[in-house]
Amino acid sequence: MTANPLPAPAFTLGGFLRDRRGRLAPAPNAAGRRRTPGLRREEVATRAGVSVTWYTWLEQGRGGPPSDEVLERLARALELDATGREILFLLGQQRPPPLSPASVAAVTPALQRVLDAYPNPAIVKTPTWDVVAWNDVANRVLGDYAAIPASERNVLRRMFGYPAIRAALPHWEADARFALAVFRMDIARAGVSADALALAAELQATSADFRRLWAENDVLTHWVGRKLFDHPVVGPFTLETSAYSVDGAEGLTMVLFTPLTPADAAAMGRLLADEAAAVASA
């Protein structure tokens, strides 16, 4: 059995707080001799704007789960990076920290290379379902993202506002209901932002179908499903969708579309071949 690389106390909130407190150097003009390295409890409490008693209870495992606000203050007081902040929330509340629109990461060249290497359609989306990256196959199968304004590269706007996309989805009603249920969960996990509220308000104002399905208040925790496309040239084919959080890129989700059967793969292959031939002859 492999030995655990971390001492047991680090797996508790109190142990993690003590460990990180011990790693910080006191101010050069801090008074008094210190028996142990790092900051005193009262110094961390002052930095975080909480009482010394409450902070002491947290290190002792007392007082119940701290609020989001307290954990955010402690993350700043202890000078935690993004990973340290995540661990703080996992230990304090048994869940990851909430996201904010400003914290959504940028698409790195490495992530784009992963998309480009995937042989089937693949996109990267934000918690508000803006498509911020895609590969060439997605461009050719799902829609020409590069040719439309950035503000229109949103899965929900396209689903509820583009008649051509609706016409290409024989099971549009089920697809739309599924999408809204996952979207509702995505924005709840991320912390309901002004951008998410604005998008929902916009679509409620412009789409009766969105208003109807949004009122159902369905939620789904995982985006794994199937989507049937009906193309005028190659006919119907089904893609299976699966979503993965991008490690180290807060707020980004990579969605992969994979042909369900060999027949589906052959139909998508014919579609790509027809498009390539059309481009070559243009």
- pLDDT score of 7: 44
Q: Can you list the pairs that 139-144 forms with residues at least 24 positions away whose Cβ atoms lie under 8 Å?
A: 140/271, 140/272, 140/275, 141/229, 141/239, 141/257, 141/268, 141/271, 141/272, 142/257
The stretch 5-32 carries a mean pLDDT of: 74
Enter the DSSP assignment of 49. T
For the chain, give every domain's residue range: 8-97, 102-281
The candidate with the shortest Cα–Cα distance to 66, out of 36, 45, 88, 86, is 88
Separation CA 275–CA 229 (nearest Å): 16
φ, ψ for residue 121 (rounded to 5)?
-60, 140
Topology annotation, domain 8-97: 434 Repressor (Amino-terminal Domain) (1.10.260)
- The string of pLDDT tens digits covering residues 211-265 is 999 999 888 876 678 999 998 888 899 999 999 988 877 788 999 999 999 999 9
The label of the residue with tokens 């480009």 reads 116
- pLDDT score of 2: 46
The candidate with the shortest Cα–Cα distance to 155, out of 182, 175, 133, 131, is 131
Which CATH code fits 102-281? 3.30.450.180
Give the pLDDT band of residue 32 (cuts 50, 70, 90): low
**Residue 102 pLDDT exceeds 60:** no
Q: Please, what is the average pLDDT of the chain?
A: 86
pLDDT-above-70 percentage for the chain: 87
In sign, the C-alpha dihedral spanning 20, 23, 29, 32 is positive
66 by DSSP, 3-state: which? coil
74 token code pair: 């402690």
Domain 8-97 identical in fold to domain 102-281 = no
The stretch 61-81 carries a mean pLDDT of: 89
The stretch 91-115 carries a mean pLDDT of: 81
